[in-house]
């Protein structure tokens, strides 16, 4: 090992003062089962803002959380633009002027409404699925086959 004194080696990976853990793009993408391309694309879209060591990206906890939130939003069918709306304003909060904050509250209320609608949609779709399921099983039984 000819590494000099660049930074702490990843020897002790679990016993850190909660502040230092970083990730490479490869680690992150494996962790969430996305490609590096996707991670870079999210950065380009303003959803992530990793640091750099030379030309390499270094991701911190904050970035990992953001990525997690982003992917969760995607699973719910939100666009990256919508996700950014919330995620970024969350960061812009500390220095937040009142207008921005009110705008944020507005957006949050909208998201909440959207989620409620989704809940209802899920409920209904479940009913439909159960219905189709029942019918299918009955037809199967009428064919003399067991479930």
Partner DNA sequence: GACGAGGTTTACGTTAACGTAAAGTGCTTG
Partner DNA sequence: CAAGCACTTTACGTTAACGTAAACCTCGTC
60, two tokens = 């911190």
CA dihedral for 62, 51, 100, 106, sign (positive or negative): negative
Among 10, 26, 118, 125, binds DNA (CB under 7 A): 26
Among 10, 20, 31, 35, binds DNA (CB under 7 A): 35
Q: How far is the CB of 85 from a copy of itself (least distance, A)?
A: 12
Q: Walk across the sheet containing 22-23 and list its strands.
A: 22-23, 56-60, 51-53
Is 77 a binding residue for a copy of itself by CB under 8 A? The answer is: yes
Is 34 a binding residue for a copy of itself by CB under 8 A? The answer is: no
Which residue, 1 or 11, has its beta carbon nearer to DNA?
1
The Cα–Cα gap between 80 and 137 comes to 40
Is 62 a binding residue for DNA by CB under 7 A? The answer is: no
CB 71 within 8 A of CB 61: no
Among 16, 39, 9, 7, residue whose Cα is nearest residue 26: 39
Is 126 a binding residue for a copy of itself by CB under 8 A? The answer is: yes
CB 42 within 8 A of CB 48: yes
Is 45 a binding residue for DNA by CB under 7 A? The answer is: yes
Q: How far is the CB of 124 from DNA (least distance, A)?
A: 19
52, two tokens = 């750099």
Q: Which stretch binds DNA (CB under 7 A): 14-22, 32-40, 106-114, 134-142?
A: 32-40
Is 135 a binding residue for DNA by CB under 7 A? The answer is: no
Q: Which stretch binds DNA (CB under 7 A): 53-61, 98-106, 109-117, 129-137?
A: 53-61
Is 74 a binding residue for DNA by CB under 7 A? The answer is: yes
3-class SS at 28? Answer: helix
């Amino acid at each position: 090992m000819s590494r000099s004194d660049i930074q702490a080696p990843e020897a002790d990976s679990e016993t850190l003062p909660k502040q230092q853990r970083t990730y490479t793009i490869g680690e992150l993408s494996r962790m969430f089962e996305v490609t590096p391309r996707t991670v870079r694309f999210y950065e380009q879209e303003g959803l992530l803002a990793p640091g750099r060591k030379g030309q390499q990206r270094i991701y911190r906890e904050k970035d990992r959380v953001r990525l997690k939130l982003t992917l969760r939003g995607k699973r719910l069918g939100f666009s990256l633009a919508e996700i950014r709306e919330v995620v970024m304003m969350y960061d812009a909060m500390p220095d937040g002027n009142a207008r921005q904050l009110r705008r944020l509250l507005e957006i949050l209320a909208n998201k909440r409404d959207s989620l409620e609608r989704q809940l209802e949609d899920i409920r209904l779709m479940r009913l439909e699925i159960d219905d189709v399921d029942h019918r299918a099983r009955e037809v199967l039984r009428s064919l003399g086959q067991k479930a």
